[in-house]
Amino acid sequence: MKMANKVVVLGSINVDTTYHVERFPQPGETISAKSKSSAPGGKGANQAVAAVRSGAQTSFVGAVGSDNEGSYMLEALKENNIDVHHIMVDKYHGTGTAAITLDANGQNDIMIYGGANQAMTTDVLAGIEDVLDGADFLISQFETPQEVTLAAFKLAKEHGVTTILNPAPAHDIIPELLSYTDVIAPNESECALLTGIEVADEESMLKSAEYFQKRGVKHLLITLGSRGVFYATPEGHGLVPAFKVKAVDTTAAGDTFIGALSSQLKDDLSNVADALVYAQRASSLTVQQMGAMPSIPTADKVKAALAEK
């Protein structure tokens, strides 16, 4: 019987500060926040925590500053049993931070200072062959430089590792990166921005899949919020419905989805539909709690929720 999935995450590490407001301010307007809270976050860190809490053996590749926030984040990842040996300490740039405005409906606006995340170079990849050896998946996002992701994905392919690209926040992709990407997982707006095809119906989503397949990406997952997740693979396509819940804070919903998915997928992606159901359920639990990393559920909680009818 196969042991737990081995997942490597290359990505961002941020300290999130959330300002709780009734509504978002208008341009030029000053409003009062009801409260303020801080928590560990960053798309990469959130995805790694989601993977490990769902049972994956997880390693992280990234960078923090030589500051209090960096020490705080390293401890937070260690406490979640994530291998942090390949997180560099940058003496010249601060740890990434995010300022989040959260309204009464659970919607958010996020401003990010990249810091050590954006200053990352391929030097961070020194020695990562030891974690890629035997790994099942390598995940990356767009809060760190694409040049680093491309170099990491090339190494991953040399080691037979399946690569998952979460192109968020979306912007132009280095064309060569797609040729080393096995799975791409944008949301609908990110997908439209990358392909120029508005995500409106099944036909447009299949056209999006064709766009990526022509560029070397065989598997497309489009998260559609309350509508669920559309998937297209060489074996077929379909829509996995979302679980209907009342959202309190959507900050780490997409990150939970990606990390939880990586913990459940088989190497050949033959169980993609079942893995998507699990990932959707994990994400639905995350949005019902406050904070990014603190809200990410464990496998036991996800399985218990799945058992409910």
Is 254 annotated to bind ligand? yes
What whole-number distance in Å separates Cα of residue 35 and Cα of residue 43?
23
DSSP 21-48: -SSPPPTT-----SEEEEEEE-HHHHHH
**Active-site residue (options: 67, 83, 182, 255):** 255
Q: Which residues contact 84 (CB under 8 A, 6 or more apart)?
A: 60, 74, 77, 78
Is 43 annotated to bind ligand? yes
What is the largest distance, in Å, between two alpha-carbon atoms of the chain? Answer: 60
Is 224 annotated to bind ligand? yes
Q: Which residues contact 106 (CB under 8 A, 6 or more apart)?
A: 246, 247, 248, 249, 250, 287
Residue type, 259: G
Is 291 annotated to bind ligand? yes
Is 295 annotated to bind ligand? yes
Is 53 annotated to bind ligand? no
Is 251 annotated to bind ligand? yes
Three-state SS sequence of 153-194: HHHHHHCCCEEEEECCCCCCCCHHHHHCCCEECCEHHHHHHH
Q: Which residues contact 205 (CB under 8 A, 6 or more apart)?
A: 191, 199, 220, 222, 230, 232, 237
Is 271 annotated to bind ligand? no
Is 236 annotated to bind ligand? no
300 assigned to active site: no
Is 238 annotated to bind ligand? no
Helix axes 253-264, 43-53, angle to 10 degrees: 40
What whole-number distance in Å separates Cα of residue 35 and Cα of residue 61?
33
Is 143 annotated to bind ligand? yes
Helix (H, G, I), strand (E, B) or coil at 20: strand
Is 160 annotated to bind ligand? no
Is 114 annotated to bind ligand? no
How many CB atoms are closer than 10 A to CB 66?
A: 14
Is 58 annotated to bind ligand? no
Q: Which residues contact 147 (CB under 8 A, 6 or more apart)?
A: 121, 122, 174
Q: Which of 274, 250, 292 is nearest to 44 (CA)?
A: 292
Is 46 annotated to bind ligand? yes
Is 16 annotated to bind ligand? yes
Is 45 annotated to bind ligand? yes
Residue 14 forms beta bridges with which residues?
41, 96
Is 163 annotated to bind ligand? no
Active site residues: 255
Binding residues for ATP: 187, 223-228, 254-255
Annotated binding site for K(+): 249, 251, 286, 289, 291, 295
Residue ranges of the annotated binding site for substrate are 14-16, 42-46, 143, 255
Known binding-site positions = 14-16, 42-46, 143, 187, 223-228, 249, 251, 254-255, 286, 289, 291, 295
